[in-house]
Amino acid sequence: MSTARHDPDHALLIRARRVIALQTAAAITVSLLVLGGLVLLVVTHSQNAAAATLLRQTAASVDDVNDPPPDVWIFLQDLNGAVRATEDAPRGLPDRGALERVGAGGTSETTTIDGREGGYLALTTRRGNSTVQVVLSRHEQHDERERLLGALAAGELAGLLIALLSAALLARRATAPLADALARQRQFVADASHELRTPLTQLHTRAQLLQMDLRAGTGGDVTTDVDQLVTGSRHLGEVIQDLLLSSQLSRRDHAGVPVDLGGVAADVLAEQAGRAMDQDVELTLLPDAGGPSVVLGHQAALRRAITALVDNALSHTPGGGHVSVELGRDDPMVTVVVRDDGTGFDPADTERLFARFARGGHGDQRRFGLGLALTREVITGHGGTIEAWGRPGQGAAFTIRLPARGANPRRG
């Protein structure tokens, strides 16, 4: 836990999740605030329009100060300045300044009057020889807005909590691929470093021994040391080639050219013939009796895949053993089977074989490097499949199936 806490990648993920969560929550909160503001604006505008309509209709139809609509009071001022008012009119009414201005010949005007919550809205106009002022209490409108604001505040708070929870979940899901990619990158770099360190150390050691022999002037045969250097450099080159191919596979386009797998297999076996002879292993190619085994793909990648399988077979086949590459047809697929009678493997390790830099299980301490993992990536990238069969002490067989030219590949 302490290591995870101090891991820079872990800290980066935590920061990314927090930023995404906060930004998402902020965006949702702002959206809710804007929506609430629009709702309040629309309600207030509707209230004002309804109040103005009620005042105009009441002022236009008033005959006396009795029986006005609820929360409305009427005031009539005659030419002598006497004012008649609706019974129980609140204190502070009417707006005498407006009555005087309109009564003196001014135009109709709408004014607000301070009072209890919400205050009052007054319309003052001339009607015949009288000046009419209709006053509407805005208390109900004020209470309605208060209830609306309370509901909006509660909704905003609930929305904020939901936004935070949702944003945290979305942030975790959004960064999950990044976390997986970072973990894979760390593991890949660590394992690749381990794979490269061994051949580099061997090369350095052999170069030092060769240098010591040359400086000592012993005149001894340095052929063996040079051969070991060449072999070590070849192994190192293969590891680097695997790493480069691994990085390029994800960017490889789907366009391909006709590739004769029989020719590719023949070239691979020709390259491995010297090694097989040194190990006293019989290397055999069994071509497809039905004709050329042609697929659409990338020759370099397919060549590397078959090379990896043959190399793996030779690595696990003792002297006197046999390794064969057999081509065939299983319409609409072309098959390539690399078979050996070597040490084999436990069937429980079948999937483990194709994991990058995997170690064998059940007491098998071998490392499988990148070869078999890249082989699966190459084959699936060409729309094919690869299967492994093995038994301890009974050898192993790897079967590749690729769409024949003209078939519809299933791109992986």
217-227 pLDDT, tens digit per residue, is 665 566 776 77
pTM of the model: 0.49
HSE at residue 359, side-chain half, CA atoms within 13 A, is 7
The pLDDT assigned to 75 comes to 94
Considering 142, 175, 208, which residue would you say is the last residue of a domain?
142
pLDDT at 395: 93
pLDDT for 230 equals 74
**What per-residue confidence (pLDDT) applies to 401?**
95
| Domain-terminating residue out of 118, 142, 166 | 142
Residue 231: inside a domain: no
Verify that 259 and 397 share a domain, yes or no.
yes
Residue 2 has pLDDT above 50, yes or no: no
Q: Which residues pair with 124 in a beta bridge?
A: 109, 133
Residue 3: per-residue pLDDT? 46
Q: Which residue has the higher pLDDT, 361 or 111?
A: 111
The reported pLDDT for the residue numbered 362 is: 44
Q: Which residue has the higher pLDDT, 82 or 187?
A: 82
pLDDT at 283 over 90: yes
Residues 172-198, mean pLDDT to the nearest whole number = 70
Residue 83 pairs with which residues in a beta bridge? Answer: 77
Q: Is residue 291 part of a domain?
A: yes
| Range in 49-53, 69-73, 151-155, 174-178 with the lowest mean pLDDT | 174-178
Band of the pLDDT at 365, cuts 50, 70, 90? very low
Within a domain: residue 27?
Answer: yes
3-state SS, residue 323: strand
Percent pLDDT > 90 in the chain is 30
Considering its fold, how many domains does the chain have in total? 2
Confidence of residue 8 (pLDDT cuts 50, 70, 90): confident
Task: Classify residue 378: in a domain, yes or no.
Answer: yes
3-state helix, strand, coil in the chain (%, to 5): 55, 20, 25
- The answer to whether 145 touches 40, Cβ cutoff 8 Å, is yes
Q: Is there a domain that residue 153 lies in?
A: no
pLDDT at 132: 94
Tell me: pLDDT of 361 over 60.
Answer: no
Residue 171, domain member (yes or no): no
Q: How far apart are CA 290 and CA 288, in angstroms?
A: 5
- Decide if pLDDT at 152 tops 90: no
Residues 130 and 264 in one domain: no
- Distance (Å, whole) CA 394 – CA 341: 6
Q: Provide mean pLDDT across the span 277-305.
A: 87
Backbone angles phi and psi of 401, in degrees to 5: -125, 120
Query: Which band of pLDDT confidence, cut at 50, 70 and 90, is reported for residue 173?
Result: confident
Total Cβ atoms within 10 A of residue 279? 18
Do 389 and 260 belong together in one domain? yes
> Is 128 a member of any domain?
yes
CATH code of the domain in which 268 resides:
3.30.565.10
Q: What is the pLDDT of residue 42?
A: 93
H-assigned helices in 1-80: 2-6, 8-61
Q: What is the pLDDT of residue 356?
A: 65
Q: Return the pLDDT at 299.
A: 84
Provide the Cα torsion 209, 211, 217, 222; round to 10°. Answer: 60
- Average pLDDT in the chain: 82
| Residue 225 to residue 248: CA distance in whole angstroms | 34
* pLDDT, position 81: 86
Q: Residue 254 has what pLDDT? A: 52
Output DSSP code: residue 303. H
- Domain range for 99 is 13-142
Position 249: which residue type? Answer: L
Do 137 and 261 belong together in one domain? Answer: no
pLDDT given for residue 391 in this prediction: 92
Residue 138 domain flag: yes
Distance (Å, rounded) from C-alpha 154 to C-alpha 61? Answer: 43
Closest Cα to residue 367, out of 358, 375, 355, 356? 358
Integer Cα distance of 262 and 292 in angstroms: 7
Tell me what percent of the residues of the chain surpass a pLDDT of 70: 82
Q: Among 120, 142, 164, give the residue marking a domain's end.
A: 142
| Residue 240 in this model has a pLDDT that exceeds 80 | no
For 63, phi and psi rounded to 5 degrees? -115, -30
